[in-house]
Chains A and B, each alone.
Chain A
Amino acid sequence: MLTTPQDFRLPEPLKLDCGRELKEVNIRFETVGTLNADRSNAILINHALTGDAHVCGKHSPEDRKPGWWDTMIGPGKGIDTDKYFVICSNVLGGCSGTTGPLSIDPDTGKPYNLNFPVITVADMVRAQKALIDHLGIKKLLAVVGGSMGGMQVLEWAVSYPEMMKCVIPIATTSRMSAQGIAFDWIGREAIQSDPQWHDGNYKAFSSNPGRGLAVARMIAHITYLSDESMTRKFGRNLQNKESYSFDFAHDFAVESYLEYQGRRFVERFDANSYCYITRATDYFDLTAHAGGDLDKALENVKADFLVVSFSSDWLFPPSDSHELVRALLRNRKKVSYSDVQSSYGHDAFLLEVETLSRMIRDFLNNQMQEVVNV
């Protein structure tokens, strides 16, 4: 299945939570499947921290890898593109086609770099809402996403309660924890302590804080795994050697693995974008406009919820999802909740394909049925 990236330029400046406005915002997005006659089969997918609009399929048959959630989305899959019209867009602040710190500031003709305003998850969603309006969709069947994608899902449900039949927030939280903020801080510190960073103007110096960004990625990557999954995958195995080297080069398989993950990440991601997007997740607190009261924050949501967590996820632990589910129940909202047994940690949302696909397929089936019956 081949997909084509598309661009949408917001006709109006985008008002941001920080008080500033962004002009000429571009949104990179992809769609798969066909929108039905009454435009009732559209599903919006929100990607996680470092994802992009390329959610499934390939851009050309020669592509080495398909989109980031190809195991879930496609013909006959959990989110069946024979039935549904799937939309995925790159987040505001990203570096994969949507306006972000790499983009040219129309006022100066130069890249924004650190002149890019600090954005929030609500800003990302506001930009996305303009895209959905542009596509002529009044009501989405579902808004789906994991991790930071799940934050956007929750923001959608609260900000535009009339605009979807259901939401599926996966492995996420209604407010970023101190632990999450702490890891993000260290990630940004790694980037910004790299001598190549030049206060975010590295492009002007033809440099790149690649080491800092790689370290940030390695730290973050550990938070996506679990003790059990790391033990299972690497144990104390040595990498291509029989005994310790008695120096500080890679001895252990886990070290090589992290190094590889860091290196690969630098090839595809921009350091400033990483700083901006992690900051947006730090600021994410669904209760901010409700005096810290999650019950109150969820008062007006209309969507049916399927909340999914993973037992070994310690970045956004099941207790975060419990908190969300309890608040929804106190508000008498229609909610289903499943805590999937998995040893994969936070990454489980991309790896527990079979369980998650079945659950999402069944849930969407019933939701679509309800839409058709109305």
Chain B
Amino acid sequence: MNGVTNGQAAVAGDAGRLAGEPLLSVRGLTKHFPVRQGLRARGAVRAVDGLDFDVRPGETLGLVGESGCGKTTTGRMLVRLLEPTSGSIMFAGRDITHGGRRELRALRQDLQIIFQDPYASLNPRHTVGRIVAMPLQVNRITPPGGVKKRVQELLELVGLNPEHYNRYPHEFSGGQRQRIGIARALALKPKLIVADEPVSALDVSIQAQVINLLRDLQRDLDLAFVFIAHDLAVIRHFCHRVAVMYLGKIVEIGDRDTIYTRPQHPYTRALLSAIPDVTTLGPAGRIRLTGDVPTPLNPPSGCRFRTRCWKATDHCATEEPALTTRDDGGQLTACHYPESGPVGVPTGEPGSNERT
């Protein structure tokens, strides 16, 4: 497996940027879901296929990609709701890749998750007070001043009325429910929060409220975040670093400004140009990708993006590009023919393989 070489490259590329021990360190992380037909195994969905990245204390890493790229599976493995097929997850110096229930319970005090759907992630028969207090009870923690006081502090922290302690989730709007989910994640004072599309189910005006809240909490409490989203504009407003995923692999990872102003991977460029932006009227300079994401049951050989890439050659089909520094860029890119120059000036001829 070339996950090892990728891992070393990732460490080398990141080393210059920030000193200090990473809080979370992921190497060669892989998750394959077996597909069975009757009793016989029929292969595996390679949902996540060899990820390497680090998150330092107080840092926010954005995981972005289209549906089916493995970003949610990654998030679930990080908090160990799923067990990785191979690879390793180190959290605060401890290997948590295959930890059992008992071990994980202690771990989850420092590692929490916020779910996407604020309607499905709260128990409708529990009061808000009970929902937010649950992490404390499970870990048999009695905070100074009592559980109720702590819960009310948390509700206030996320901008809810502490008097609403006794209400049920159905009495709250979508944005308020997401705040309840955030309060629950904060109850144990975690060091790292995995946020899985925390704002994509919300209306735009409410979305901005929740993004601002998460940003304030991140700064005030010095939390580290792995922020999973499909929306590059949301990621840009929240994350220090960004990892772009495609079909279970990271294709580009680097500082926010590098990724958004000088992306090297053609997929990152296409993704950026596909976002309809309010600041431009009319369809201007869009890179048209044709076709859909291939199935992770049988991903393309070599570079996985080559079937939709306008720069692909035979070389891309035979050799998989390693995630490494290319052309003195500030980021790591997995592409044989990286783009250069600032975004908005596509160097290739994206229109050449259009079907229309």
Q: Are A and B physically bound partners?
A: no
Give chain A's interface residues, CB within 8 Å of chain B: none
Give chain B's interface residues, CB within 8 Å of chain A: none
